Structure 1
């Protein structure tokens, strides 16, 4: 059985992904941060939180297709 806390993390992550795809990286980052406050070990939220920080500092082009391109190995 999934805990109420984990369900909330999943809900926050799903909404964060929606905002991420809409290129609203500040809102998405806040949602991923909320998820991480509930579960600091949530790997997907950590990854997307970092990507949002990157895109806030380095916005993608207007025709961005949602694909994250790694700059380093």
Structure 2
């Protein structure tokens, strides 16, 4: 398996995880502020990983 499909698969998993965490944070905003903040923090960490991965994908496309 080449690198690009692996990165694409990882990116898709991270996107799904980010969307779920963001939705959970939003849904808990009115009932449990602390848990909502925790989910939002985790979502931000996943988003950071996603952005780093996109940067790597961009470099792979440029140099191949």
Query: What TM-score do the two structures reach when normalised by structure 1?
Result: 0.48
| Large movers: runs of 4+ above 2 Å | none
> Equivalent residue for 1:38?
46
Measure, in 1, the Cα distance between the counterparts of 2:18 and 2:36: 13
Output the aligned Cα RMSD: 1.8
2:35 match: secondary structure: helix
Q: Larger % of helix: which?
A: 2
**Structure 1: which 5+ runs fail to align?**
41-73
Aligned with 2:37: secondary structure? helix
Any residues of structure 2 matched to 1:1-73 within 5 Å, and which? 3-22=12-31, 24-40=32-48
Aligned residues: 39
Q: TM-score, normalised by structure 2?
A: 0.54
- Highest CA radius of gyration, 1 or 2? 2
| CA deviation after TM superposition for structure 1 residue 21, in Å | 2.8
